[in-house]
Chain A
Amino acid sequence: MLARKVAEVFNEPGCEHNKQKSEKDRKKGCTRSARPGAAGGGCAFDGAKIALQPITDAAHLVHGPIACEGNSWDNRSAKSSGPLLYRTGFTTDINENDVIMGGEKRLFRSIREVIRKYHPPAIFVYQTCVTALIGDDIEAVCKAAAREFNRPIIPVNVPGFVGGKNLGNKLAGEALFDYVIGTMEPEYTTPYDISIIGEYNLSGELWQVKPLFDRLEIRILSCITGDARYREVAWSHRAKAAIMVCSKSMINIARKMEERYGIPFFEGSFYGISDMSDSLRNIARLLVRQGAPEGLIEKTEGLIAEEEARAWTRLGEYRERLQGKRVLLITGGVKSWSVVSALQESGMVVVGTSVKKSTKEDRERITELMGEDAHMIESITPKEMYSMLKDAQADILMAGGRSQFVALKARMPFLDINQERHQAYAGYEGMVTLVEEIDKAIHSPIWEQVRKKAPWE
């Protein structure tokens, strides 16, 4: 069952990456398998949790030993405007006896305890390595529990050993599609209903773009899954159009929604001024195509003009201070070109950008933006990053939190732009914040002090 799902996800026809692969490569899958002694990323379970945990009123129950949940819970910055149950860490924390006898009974009892004590509208149950290896059938347990307790208990079959975070994102998407989406109906619908797919409201980023949609009277019927309530995901099939952000993470949902429910989607981004504008434009166009009044397009252009002008004025102040500053950009999930264009918009030069997870199309866009001699980095070791910074080949490193100390120990500025960051960088507001943060980092008075030798040295 899981093997079939994994193969299916690997074959995702909507994935740009896949279209360019040979039949054989495609079968091998979309995540290069991790190399012993040289692996860096999280597991499929990690990826699934990132994708589903933002459903704020649900309980997220991890079936496995303490490692999976105990070492990682409450460490992500997805924000909620209401319920907080998603931040409670639930795990079966199986012991030796469970490994020998099987953990299904404990899982069932755990589900009962969670329901009795916390009354969630639904429970997501995550499968992990050990419990998968001993053959615990979480699908069967969830089915029995759903019947017994009369509410959705959703198995998310993502033992870490099947692959990396990206695969986990997609398997989470499959679980939503198989068990959640289409199971409830909204009270009413409007011609302006959209769904946003792959936006997790990290640090509240959804709230940087929601006011824009509000102004256009476009209703976010569902966000999958940022600041979501369970029911909103369950009725997301009634959206008129969808925007898919964070490109590769949930393309399977977007495509299947189009196939089964006829919801057209496009791939957009909320990062960068022009990307934000394009996203607004595209969603307006799709809605009109789906029957919304023509006037929406004009209204959207009006808002874009207004907001862009406002953002530019605010960025103007920084342009002068940041003109020519060199950025080394090593991103994981975020599409690097969208950040590249944003940085260029504020006068900075990108001296190198990682393209490890980028598609051919992404690369073309980077060349387009950065010119022929764009320095695209396939992979870079921390040591190489350190040397680049130590030799002052860049003025700031923008990367995921893991690389923070590579920059800091080289006594160079750093800005966290991945999952676990604590700043919100989406929409027009986010761009201003990003540039503000870069400015603060680069111009901090500490650099001069810490780079100087002690008087006696």
Chain B
Amino acid sequence: MAIVNTSNKACTVNPLKLSQPIGAALTFLGINRSIPVLHGSQGCTSFGLVLFVRHFREMIPMQTTAMNEATTILGGTENIEEALLTLYKKASPEIISLCTTGLTETKGEDIAGAVKEIRGRHPELNQVAIVPVSTPDFVGAFQDGWSKAVARIVEDLAEGEPEVFSGRVNVLAGPSLTPADVEEIGRIVSSFNLHPVILPDLSGSLDGHVPEDFTPTSLGGTKLSEIRSMGMSEITLAIGESMRPAAETLEKKCGVPFVVFDRLTGLEASDRFLDLLQHLSGEDVPQKYRGQRSRLMDAMLDGHFFFGKKKVAIGAEPDLLFALASFLSEMGSDIEAAVTTTGSTILKKIPAEEVLIGDLEDLEERAVGCDLMITHSHGRQASERLEVPLFRAGIPTFDRLGTAHQLNVGYQGTMRLIFEVGNIFLGSKKENHPDTWSLSNAGRL
């Protein structure tokens, strides 16, 4: 439906996009006892870490190979080795990622080869899964990094033949999902007496629990043993178009069939999900969700007055953009502007005339006169300038509490969205006054 264009400016103004390596790094934070390492100079890790700390308000374990100019030119094997050994000794993680950055990709290095060489010298590292992911900063965006990392994890670690575990369902969780979303999806799947393995599972690690002790690695999330046995599940459910490559990889490697859900926000999208689970499990949709569905319908009925023909401008990564734009258009609003960070096959399905791969300056230009802007916290300046209210969605959201707990999926999440967004529309309703219908009012023409 939408035409996809790319901004042809030389200079990006007010970036919407985050870089690939930190997208990859965040997936590893959804794996238990892991430490993501960016293979590059120290500053890249520092920025990523600060960004996540501010978004999740949690401790974030994340490290760097601390490359400098000389080690970049000579090759980084020594730095990788030192980083791996230091982390192994200090933090004993079960899994370490090596996400490359612009710096190390410019030089071009065979990190998989380097890891092999290092393992040869240090058999003690055999206890640790080490996953290299190629994520140059100058290609793609956060979502691509996430997508590549998940694909690489299943490629490297998943084993076995399908259907060994009956009732076992792989869920590949896309980057648009909050920890609360992931938890809800797990809950829904389990309620059909199916056993989900969710990768990555931020709801276990970045949900804000207060542990009894300090760990230098991630705590909670998918277990390494669970990842290894993903090849033995009955089916894979990929949530978000960006999870398709990982699902395909797993099918190719272990033969597990898959279904992609491009979103789980909205009445029909949720229906489709529950319907599939019902078929898979042979169990009826639990009473709980029938109740939730009914309440969601009621929320739609109550809310549609305030959504109708509202003009909305959204800036988000492809998966999230698609979910939010579809939801709003299903509530009767018009997507006046849709700006995103990177290419994806989902973009043309977005209910807008144009989807622009661009920045927040582009969004600001297109959001003039809109009723609502939706983007991450960096949209706050534009929102103030335009006096258009901002609904925060995406990473980073650093100026609001509880971002990890925002539920946007399923009947429950869709209902929450209707209330949150609807309340903004309600709150900014313009009152009529004696001149509203004045005959000389230019607005009539």
Residues of A within 8 A of B (CB): 33-46, 61, 64-75, 84, 87-96, 98-99, 106, 109-114, 117, 129-130, 132-134, 159-164, 381-383, 386-387, 390, 401-402, 404-406, 409-411, 420, 450
Contact = CB atoms under 8 A, between A and B. Distances in A.
> Which 8 pairs from chain A and chain B are nearest by CB?
A43-B43, A37-B86, A37-B83, A110-B11, A109-B10, A65-B137, A36-B83, A160-B43
B41 to A, nearest CB: 4
Contact of B378 (A46, A74, A93, A106): A74
B257 interface: no
A35 B82 contact: yes
B103 A130 contact: yes
Given A35-B86, A36-B79, A61-B11, A402 B19 contact: no
Nearest to A383: B214
A42 B46 CA distance: 5
Interface string B1-16: 0000000011111110
Contacts of B54: 75, 401
Given A42-B47, A96-B139, A130-B103, A160 B17 contact: no
Given A71-B18, A109-B11, A405-B57, 5 more contacts: A67-B102, A75-B51, A96-B136, A161-B103, A387-B214
Contacts of A401: 50, 53-54
Task: Please indicate which of the listed interface residues B42, B378, B381 has the most CB atoms of chain A within 10 Å of its own CB.
Answer: B42
Interface stretch (B67-75, B166-174, B178-186, B330-338): B67-75
Interface residues of B, number: 64
Contacts of B68: 33, 161-163
Contacts of B65: 36-37
Interface in B134-155: 136-139, 141
B101 interface: yes
Interface in B58-117: 58-59, 63-69, 72, 79-80, 82-87, 90, 101-103, 106-107
Given A71-B22, A89-B13, A405-B59, A160 B381 contact: no
B282 interface: no
Contacts of A450: 210
Interface in B207-223: 210-211, 214, 216
B37 interface: yes
Given A36-B66, A109-B11, A67 B19 contact: yes
B137 A66 contact: yes
Contacts of A90: 11-13
Nearest to A98: B138
16 contacts: A37-B86, A64-B102, A65-B19, A74-B381, A84-B381, A91-B15, A109-B11, A111-B11, A130-B103, A132-B69, A159-B41, A160-B43, A383-B214, A383-B216, A406-B214, A409-B214
Contact of B42 (A41, A68, A96, A130): A41
Contacts of A402: 49-50, 53
B103 A92 contact: no
Contacts of A61: 11
Nearest to B215: A383
A106 B54 CA distance: 32
Interface in B26-62: 37, 40-51, 53-54, 57-59
A436 B17 CA distance: 39
A365 to B, nearest CB: 29
Task: Please indicate which of the listed interface residues A36, A112, A387 has the most CB atoms of chain B within 10 Å of its own CB.
Answer: A36
A66 B342 CA distance: 12
Nearest to B80: A36
Task: Please indicate which of the listed interface residues A33, A74, A381 has the most CB atoms of chain B within 10 Å of its own CB.
Answer: A74
B21 interface: yes
A159 B69 CA distance: 9
B10 A113 contact: yes
Contacts of A404: 53
Nearest to B43: A43
A41 B46 contact: yes
A40 B90 CA distance: 15
Contacts of A113: 9-11
A386 B214 contact: yes
A42 B44 CA distance: 8
Contacts of B378: 73-74, 89
A67 B21 CA distance: 8
B389 to A, nearest CB: 19
A34 B19 contact: no
Contacts of B107: 133
A45 to B, nearest CB: 6
Contacts of A132: 69
B388 to A, nearest CB: 17
A277 B49 CA distance: 38
B46 A46 contact: yes
A73 B216 contact: no
A42 B43 CA distance: 4
A330 B93 CA distance: 27
Nearest to B12: A93
A109 B12 CA distance: 11
Contact of A40 (B46, B69, B138, B381): B46
